[in-house]
C-alpha cells in the first residue's frame, strides 16, 4: 500500500506495477491526474468516500490518493555502481521508521545504494515508504542475507567499514574518498557475524548516551563521506 501523492508518483516513475488506485473526495487536480495515469497503465481506479479512505489509511490524516501495488524486487545485481561507489549497509535494522530514514538519507547524499543485510523489516512496509518519501522505489535499494552481501562486496573489491560505539578511529579521521561500504548495525543486537571482523570507526559521544539512533548515525557518516569527496 503506497499512500500519498509524492510516494505514489515516485513509485509510478520507477515503473512499479499498480493493481489499483483509490482516490478520495478531497483529491487535488494533480492527484486525480496521477490516478488517471495509473488507470491508463492498467490499474483499477476507485473513487472512495472520506470515511472509507480513513479506514484504509494507516495515517492519522488519510492522504487523498492510495495505490495498491505489486512489491518490486530488491536484488543486488540490478544495482548500478559508479566508479567510486559509496554504499550504506544496514545490518538487521528492525524499525520501519529507521529503515525509511536510512533510505532517505542515502538518497539525499547521492549514495550508489543502500543494501539491507539480513533485513528485519519488510521494505515495502507503509511506514518505510512514508519515511523514505518514496525513495525506496528509486532503484538504489537492495536486500540479501549478510553472507551474500559480504560476498557481493568482496567480488567487487569494495572495502568495508563498520560504525560502532567505541573504535580507535573517529569518523572524520577515516578516508571516505575511495570506494567504501559503511555498515550500520542493529541498535538492539549490534553487528551480525559477517561484519564483526571489519575495520571500525566511531562517532564521538559527549553526553550521557553511549550511541546514536541508527538512522542518525547513518546520515552523519554518509554526509562526512560527501564532505570529503567534494
SS3 labels along the chain: CEECHHHHHHHHHCCCCEEEEEEECCCCHHHHHHHHHHHHCCCEEEEECHHHHHHHCCCCCCCCEEEEECCCCCCHHHCCCCCCCEEEEEECCCCHHHHHHHHHHHHHHCCCEEEEECCCCCCCCHHHHHHCCCHHHCCCEEEECHHHHHHHHHHCCCCEEEECCCCCCEHHHCCCCCCEEEEECECCCECCHHHCCCCEEECCCCCCCCCCCHHHHHHHHHHHHHHHHC
- Please state, in angstroms and rounded to a whole number, the distance separating the CA atoms of residues 167 and 152: 25
What share of the chain has pLDDT > 90, as a percent? 84
Phi (first) and psi of residue 150, to 5 degrees: -60, -40
Read off the pLDDT of each residue in 179-205 and give the average, rounded to a whole number.
Answer: 91
Average pLDDT over residues 116-126: 95
Q: Choose between 207 and 84: higher pLDDT.
A: 84
Query: For the segment 85-108, what is each residue's pLDDT rounded down to a tens digit?
Result: 999 999 999 999 999 999 999 999
* Residues 125 and 179 sit within 8 Å (Cβ to Cβ): no
Domain 76-229 has CATH 3.30.420.40: no
Q: What is the CA radius of gyration of the chain?
A: 19
Q: What is the CATH number of domain 2-69?
A: 3.30.1330.30
User: Could you tell me the residue ranges of all domains in the chain?
Assistant: 2-69, 76-229
All three cell numbers of 145 = 542475507
Segment 15-74, tens digit of pLDDT: 999 999 999 998 999 999 999 999 999 999 999 998 999 899 888 788 899 999 999 999
Cell of 112: 550508489
- pLDDT confidence band for 186 (50 / 70 / 90): confident
Statement: residue 128 has pLDDT above 90: yes
Question: Which of 75-79, 111-115, 167-171 ranks highest by mean pLDDT?
Answer: 111-115
* Rounded Cα–Cα distance for residues 137 and 82 (Å): 19
The residue whose grid cell reads 529503515 is 99
Looking at the predicted structure, is the pLDDT value of residue 175 above 90? Answer: yes
Cell reading at 106: 542515502
Amino acid at each position: 500500500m503506497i499512500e500519498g501523492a509524492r510516494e505514489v508518483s515516485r513509485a509510478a516513475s520507477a515503473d512499479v506495477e499498480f493493481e489499483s488506485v483509490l482516490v478520495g473526495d478531497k483529491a487535488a487536480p494533480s492527484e486525480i491526474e496521477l490516478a488517471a495515469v495509473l488507470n491508463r497503465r492498467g490499474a483499477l481506479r476507485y473513487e472512495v468516500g472520506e470515511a472509507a479512505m480513513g479506514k484504509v489509511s494507516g495515517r492519522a490524516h488519510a492522504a487523498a490518493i492510495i495505490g495498491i501495488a505489486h512489491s518490486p524486487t530488491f536484488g543486488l545485481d540490478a544495482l548500478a555502481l559508479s566508479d567510486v561507489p559509496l554504499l550504506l549497509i544496514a545490518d538487521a535494522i528492525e524499525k520501519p521508521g529507521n529503515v525509511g530514514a536510512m533510505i532517505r538519507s542515502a538518497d539525499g547524499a547521492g549514495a550508489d545504494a543502500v543494501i539491507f543485510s539480513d533485513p528485519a523489516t519488510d521494505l515495502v512496509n507503509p511506514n518505510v515508504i512514508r519515511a523514505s518519501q518514496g525513495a525506496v522505489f528509486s532503484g538504489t535499494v537492495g536486500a540479501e542475507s549478510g553472507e551474500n552481501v559480504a560476498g557481493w562486496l568482496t567480488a567487487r573489491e569494495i572495502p568495508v567499514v563498520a560504525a560502532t560505539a567505541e573504535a580507535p578511529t573517529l569518523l572524520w579521521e577515516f578516508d571516505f574518498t575511495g570506494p567504501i561500504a559503511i555498515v550500520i548495525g542493529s541498535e538492539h543486537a549490534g553487528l551480525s557475524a559477517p561484519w564483526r571482523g571489519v575495520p571500525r570507526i566511531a562517532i564521538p559521544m559527549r553526553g550521557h548516551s553511549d550511541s546514536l539512533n541508527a538512522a542518525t548515525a547513518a546520515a552523519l557518516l554518509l554526509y562526512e563521506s560527501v564532505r570529503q569527496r567534494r
